[in-house]
Amino acid sequence: MADDRFHVYDTTLRDGAQQEGLNLTVADKLAIARHLDGLGVGFIEGGWPGANPKDTEFFRRARTELDLKHAQLAAFGATRRAGVKAADDPLVAALRESGAPVVTLVAKSHDRHVELALRTTLEENLAMIRDTVSHLRAEGQRVFLDAEHFFDGYKSNPAYALEVVRTAAEAGADVIALCDTNGGMLPDELAEVVLAAVATSARVGIHCHDDTGCAVANTLAAVKAGATHVQGCANGYGERSGNANLFTVVANLQLKRGFDLVPQEALADMTRIAHAITEVTNVTPNSHQPYVGVSAFAHKAGLHASAIKVDPNLYQHIDPAQVGNDMRMLVSDMAGRASVELKGRELGYELDATESRELVEKVKELEARGYTFEAADASFELLLKDTLNGERRRHFTVESWRAIVERRPTGEVVSEATVKVHAKGERIVATGEGNGPVNALDRALRQALERLYPELAALELTDFKVRILEGTHGSDAITRVLITSSDGKGEWATMGVAENVIEASWQALEEAVTYGLLRAGRECDSL
């Protein structure tokens, strides 16, 4: 459990999900929550149960499927409606029943919003806050309050905005997070308003958006003014220009301001976590992202090259290893030797210097072509084994395959695939049908091999991800396919890269089956 004196509060699953083009399934949300917990954040806002069936399901599944080590879940919701009791409001009931230890209530703190958007009186809005906070507290939940449009509200009516803070605190809210909801603030002016809120003696938090490009700086300014709770989103996700990037905020506070927010070894895993989350969201990673972007410590040689050799710290504001990133001198230098060696050791292989150099070269060359071994452990292990063996070994070779997808005049869509493979000295031809070309190819391949390798019957595709990489002419672009497979005992990920989505899928399938057979104790043959 994180220290309660300073809160790192993530709202990726609620406010971050407001980002254009970002649509998270419940399974995605659970996966992201696990990554955030791995980073050591204190609170994970999971969504708005009751308002949205998907979020209700998230909290239901979280009870059995999430085993959080550091973080506590927070359910987001609104204060009760005007004119009803909190105890009788079904939306408040949904928050109570979410099972979340924390409820974060959003409340209006801008007088004009109360009148124009909420259409109630300023006094009733205060009563709604008082009543909802104290009701949830009495029912045993911890309550935070998001004071919406606080800064514009303070400009419009400072006394009322501060009255909202006081009312919530007196009713039992532990934190009043001041929200720059439209993101229009600049740090100096924001800090003055935070000081005024801190002077009420309530515990103050901060929630910023990046509409002026100052979300991170605004958050830091609020902390300097006395806020002890920072909200933000993984990778700066969020509506419009995004929320404050929680990773940047944490790295700045911990590495430059001496705060002890997350475990040091978790901070050193931040780059991997940031990228793992982009694999879930399927949002292209921002290579320029401070601290964790692929380019964040990349130097175009020239003027700096010789000096960097003398002392890299002359040209870097931190040691990139502190956030799990690497300095890069040349283009497409994704993997360093150290991380390849570490990864090999993690998988149980000791590489000597020549082997690890050779493996790094292969990884670099393949990553330059679009492969990403970070997300495909099993493909990396196959490459590592080939390197150690000094040759490529497989259980089978492929002569050819063909996939046909057809929409018939009846409207029915059918997929069929044929594969021709060689294994244990035999040539085998097999055909499979499926609900799509990849499914059909998967069935055909397993059909072909199952007589020789009966353990393939237990093998199953559990996830399939497609990412289109660059290319300015749509279908001319490179396609990367990631496949997760299971044998009932464990899961593994493989990858394929090709112009053609079906060819990329096939490569990933072939490696998935190869790795599955190795797991089952079947050694490869020399080809």
Q: Pick the closer one to its own copies by CB: 31 or 268.
A: 31
Q: Where in 70-109 is the site for its own copies (CB under 8 A)?
A: none
Smallest separation (angstroms) from its own copies to the CB of 360: 16
Partners of residue 482 on adjacent β-strands: 465, 495
Among residues 67, 265, 346, 406, which is the contact residue for its own copies, using CB under 8 A?
A: 406
Smallest separation (angstroms) from its own copies to the CB of 246: 11
Q: Pick the closer one to its own copies by CB: 125 or 218.
A: 218
Q: Where in 108-147 is the site for its own copies (CB under 8 A)?
A: 110, 112-113, 116-117
Closest CA to 205 of 265, 148, 138: 148
Among residues 20, 67, 265, 523, which is the contact residue for its own copies, using CB under 8 A?
A: 20
For 429, phi and psi rounded to 5 degrees?
-115, 130
Binding status of residue 467 toward its own copies by CB under 8 A: yes
**Binding string, residues 411-430; x marks residues near its own copies by CB under 8 A:** --x-x----x----------
Q: Where in 218-247 is the site for its own copies (CB under 8 A)?
A: 218, 220-221, 224, 236, 239-242, 245
Q: Where in 342-401 is the site for its own copies (CB under 8 A)?
A: 372, 374-375, 398-401
Lookup: tokens for 500:
């053609």
For 414, phi and psi rounded to 5 degrees?
-125, 150
Among residues 290, 349, 393, 455, which is the contact residue for its own copies, using CB under 8 A?
A: 290
What's the distance, Cα to Cα, between the start and end of the chain in Å? Answer: 52
Go through 241-265 and write b for each residue having 16 or more CB atoms within 10 A of its CB, e for each that does not.
ebbbbbbbbbbbbbbeeebebbeee
Among residues 473, 488, 489, 526, which is the contact residue for its own copies, using CB under 8 A?
A: 473
Q: Where in 488-507 is the site for its own copies (CB under 8 A)?
A: 498-503, 506
Binding status of residue 46 toward its own copies by CB under 8 A: no
Give the E-state strand segments of 122-266 in sequence order.
142-148, 175-179, 204-207, 229-232
Binding status of residue 321 toward its own copies by CB under 8 A: no
Q: Identify the burial level of 327 via C-beta atoms within 10 angstroms of its C-beta, where 0-12 means exposed, 13-18 middle and 19 or more buried.
A: middle
Among residues 40, 434, 496, 516, which is the contact residue for its own copies, using CB under 8 A?
A: 434
Does residue 69 contact residue 37 with C-beta atoms inside 8 Å?
yes
Q: Where in 150-179 is the site for its own copies (CB under 8 A)?
A: none
How, if at all, do strands 229-232 and 7-10 pair?
Answer: parallel
Q: How many CB atoms lie within 10 A of CB 158?
A: 13
Among residues 138, 338, 342, 404, which is the contact residue for its own copies, using CB under 8 A?
A: 404
# of chain residues touching its own copies (CB under 8 A):
130
Does residue 484 contact residue 495 with C-beta atoms inside 8 Å?
no
Alpha-carbon distance of 438 to 444, in angstroms, equals 10
Alpha-carbon distance of 62 to 68, in angstroms, equals 9
Smallest separation (angstroms) from its own copies to the CB of 1: 28
Smallest separation (angstroms) from its own copies to the CB of 16: 11
Does residue 44 contact residue 73 with C-beta atoms inside 8 Å?
yes
Smallest separation (angstroms) from its own copies to the CB of 388: 26
Smallest separation (angstroms) from its own copies to the CB of 479: 7
Among the candidate windows 83-91, 97-105, 445-453, 458-466, which touches its own copies by CB under 8 A?
Answer: 458-466
Among residues 8, 430, 483, 518, which is the contact residue for its own copies, using CB under 8 A?
A: 483
CA dihedral 257, 207, 143, 98 (to 10 degrees): -110
